Chain A
Amino acid sequence: MKINIPIAAATASLLLFSSLALAEVAYVSNEKDNTISVIDLDTYEVTATLDVGKRPRGIILSHDQTKLYICASDSDTVQVMDLATHKITKQLPSGEDPEQFSLHPNDHHLYISNENDALVTIVDTDTNEVLAQIDVGVEPEGMAVSSDGKIAVNTSETTNMVHWIDTETMALYDNTLVDQRPRFVEFSKDNKYLWATSEIGGTVSVIDVASRKIIHKVTFKIRGVHSDKMQPVGIKLSDDGKYAFVALGPANHIAIIDAHSFEVIDYILVGRRVWHMAFNADQSLLLTTNGISGDVTVIDVAKRKAIKSIKVGRYPWGIVVKSK
């Protein structure tokens, strides 16, 4: 008996250690609670709820995953959280009402859309300096930087355009008109295509990056759901280049699109008014934020099934997964 105890304890501590080392953690911004929920992806439990600035929406990780950038829209700032201590270490001058942003591959130029000011602000996260403010359309929203760092793209919801920004000159070089209320953009891994959702138009435009022309428009159809409720918001493209996952807002489903044929191949039922998504590191899981039902749905990507629903704060909006 006496001998057994230390062995068991040792085994337990070993297990604990390994799970600590490997556990992936999701961070979720709760728009109406001014908090970030922390979810342990081994147990699917909320392990902490952290107070942050007002109306937190877009969140992203630094490349080394030690810092979390938070758009605190109503505090008019981007907050930087140290993920080792969960403390806000600084506030960046973001311009008014920051909503979504994207981090340049150089890891220190942050491209921020200022929803109330029709601007994109570029901030250096090391020096806290505003490098440029670029005039874009009304209600700038979606933001993405190509993985080669050459192009930044912003969408404006009321102007209905995708704005193309040269990251070297920090100036606009073209605009592409898309359907009503463009909300989110993501580059394909090879940077050849840009995927853009139009929430009210109900479409996803696939745009050829070289010509800035729309080459395909994806539409959605679910039995028993009115077509006007197909309101695409977030997009995630899988690393293998095979699939696009699109959150359909009040249709309460995620659409899976074949990224080559642009056909919708499946729909997965999730929580109510689904906004945004994040993969875990090996992309076996896809997590969605569901604004109205106030929860996060965990999807098993291989099985294309929702396996778990986790209650978080009010109006969860942005989500990222820390895997290191």
Chain B
Amino acid sequence: MKKHLTRLLMTSLLSLSGFYSGPLYAQASSQTIEIAYLKLVQDQGPVLSNIFPIPEDSGQRGAELAIQDSNTTGRFLNQKYQLSQVVSQDFSAISEQAATLYSRGIRFFVTDIPAKELQLLAQQLGDQALFFNAGTQDDALRTTDCVSNLLHTIPSRAMLTDALAQWLQVKRLTRWLMITGTTPEDTAYAEAMKRAAKRFGHKIVAEKHWSFDTDLRRSAQKEMPVFTQTDEYDVVVVADERGDFGEYVLYNTWYPRPVVGTQGLTPVAWHRVVEQWGAAQLQSRFDQLAHRWMNNKDYAAWLAVRSIAEAVTRTKKTEVDAIKHFIASEQFELAGFKGRKLSYRAWSGQLRQPIPLVHARSLVSQSPQEGFLHPVSELDTLGFDKPESQCNLMKNF
């Protein structure tokens, strides 16, 4: 309390004596940058492992924090950032709202919308709108379903699984048992894992599909060992994005082996245990704002808003063409608390970034692993590299 009082007092004193009207704050006319956050609420369906629910405001609070951070910077440059939020379970409502926002002059959209709908929406608003995908990890959006006005701040599945496969290679855990869930997302994750297995020289000993519908909380100790009894493996790779059964694989496998993938040791964009490289500061700012842990979608939304703000700060322009041009240029670099400067891949519009490998209580490693080399950037050893993607996004930026 006392601290805040002091601060208030000092602020008013300073403004009374006129410092705040000095040349610093009386620069040319101010710029306002309006950004919209669009979220299509998706029903995850019932899951067995429902003890820790995913926060309903995932993503939104990350965007809000980035607006706050950008406004702190903006006050020195006479730039003001504003956020509109549209959250709905109904895609047509979002699409309508987005059109209204566009007609009001908003050009920057940060989204948590599944691939198909996102593609539709981005195409509908056209190239004078710039979209940042901070929700879907869909690989097709980065390789075959190219959208000309769409960038990605959330890592693709392939980036995550490559990050994990590199680490498994370093640890010589090269014989995998794969367990895949029933949803299309689980299949997509498993596909990404298989691609990574091929790239980094792993062998899939057996692949099993989880289709049981019993409540494993009571019977995992009995069922899981039998289910995982196959040829010997070094590691169990789980593809269960919703968190249905995966939590119950740990410590219940036939061979006493580590569990990785969507559960166990997990590749992520962000997690509370990330604290190096100044991340502790971002974590505590987020905690102050949201009173919960910052997650993947919060981080991706934060990066998206910060990308726009960084381009505005450096160019002092707010027009969408100027921002696109700067983001595509060599000058663009973003600090994302991961120990490397981040930039966008010219072909897919994917933000390059290191991938932390975490378990519930600590950071285990961060990929790319040492020794995985690349002629341009080691970060491009994660996910789809230029020759593997049909997209050529930034040639028109």
Contact = CB atoms under 8 A, between A and B. Distances in A.
Interface of A: 93, 95-97, 115-116, 118-119, 130, 132-135, 137-139, 156-161, 163, 169, 171-175, 177, 179-181, 199-202, 226, 228, 231, 250
A97 B76 CA distance: 22
Contacts of A138: 69, 72-73, 285
Contact of B340 (A135, A139, A156, A200): A200
Given A138-B73, A157-B335, A226-B378, A115 B3 contact: no
29 contacts: A115-B281, A116-B281, A116-B288, A118-B72, A130-B6, A132-B10, A133-B10, A133-B11, A135-B75, A137-B73, A138-B72, A138-B285, A157-B335, A158-B69, A159-B72, A160-B73, A160-B313, A160-B335, A172-B19, A172-B24, A173-B23, A175-B77, A180-B333, A199-B335, A200-B333, A200-B335, A200-B340, A228-B341, A228-B377
A177 B22 contact: no
Interface string B266-279: 00000000000010
Nearest to B69: A138
A171 B19 contact: yes
B66 to A, nearest CB: 10
Q: Which bucket holds chain B's interface residue count?
A: 20 to 34
Given A160-B335, A171-B19, A181-B278, 13 more contacts: A93-B3, A116-B285, A133-B6, A135-B11, A137-B73, A139-B281, A158-B73, A173-B22, A173-B23, A177-B313, A199-B335, A201-B333, A250-B339
Contacts of A250: 339
Contacts of A156: 73
User: 10 tightest CB-CB pairs across the interface, nearest first?
Assistant: A171-B19, A159-B73, A180-B335, A200-B335, A175-B76, A181-B335, A138-B72, A138-B69, A200-B341, A133-B10
Contacts of A173: 22-24
Nearest to B333: A180
A133 B7 contact: yes
Max count, chain B CB within 10 A of own CB: residue among A93, A157, A158, A179: A158
- Which of the listed residues A130, A138, A181 has the most CB atoms from chain B within 10 Å of its own CB? A138
Nearest to B14: A171
B314 interface: yes
A175 B278 CA distance: 22
Contacts of A181: 278, 335
B29 to A, nearest CB: 18
A229 B198 CA distance: 29
A157 B278 contact: yes
Interface of B: 3, 6-7, 10-11, 14, 19, 22-24, 69, 72-73, 75-77, 278, 281, 284-285, 288, 313-314, 333-335, 339-341, 377-378
Nearest to B340: A228
Contacts of A200: 333, 335, 340-341
Contact of B3 (A95, A137, A158): A95
A202 B24 contact: no
Contacts of A201: 333, 341
A169 B377 CA distance: 47
A156 B72 CA distance: 10
> Max chain A CB contacts within 10 Å: which of B6, B7, B340?
B7
Contacts of B14: 132, 171
Contacts of B288: 116
Nearest to B354: A228
A174 B24 contact: yes
A157 B72 CA distance: 12
A202 B341 contact: yes
Contacts of A160: 73, 313, 335
B117 to A, nearest CB: 32
A321 B284 CA distance: 32
A132 B7 CA distance: 8
Contact of A161 (B3, B76, B333): B76
A74 to B, nearest CB: 10
A115 B333 CA distance: 22
A180 B277 CA distance: 13
Contacts of B333: 179-180, 200-201
A138 B288 CA distance: 14
Contact of B284 (A116, A159, A199): A116
A235 to B, nearest CB: 18
Nearest to A115: B281
A228 B341 CA distance: 7
Nearest to B22: A173
Given A160-B313, A180-B335, A201-B333, A139 B278 contact: yes
A165 to B, nearest CB: 11
Nearest to B278: A157
A8 to B, nearest CB: 54
Contacts of B285: 116, 138
A231 B313 CA distance: 22
Contacts of B77: 175
A295 B19 CA distance: 45
Nearest to B341: A200
Contacts of A161: 73, 76
Contact of B22 (A157, A158, A171): A171
Contacts of A163: 76
Nearest to A118: B72
Contacts of B339: 231, 250
A69 B281 CA distance: 22
A174 B24 CA distance: 6
A135 B24 CA distance: 13
Contacts of A231: 339
A202 B7 CA distance: 34
Contacts of B76: 137, 159, 161, 163, 172, 175
A291 to B, nearest CB: 9
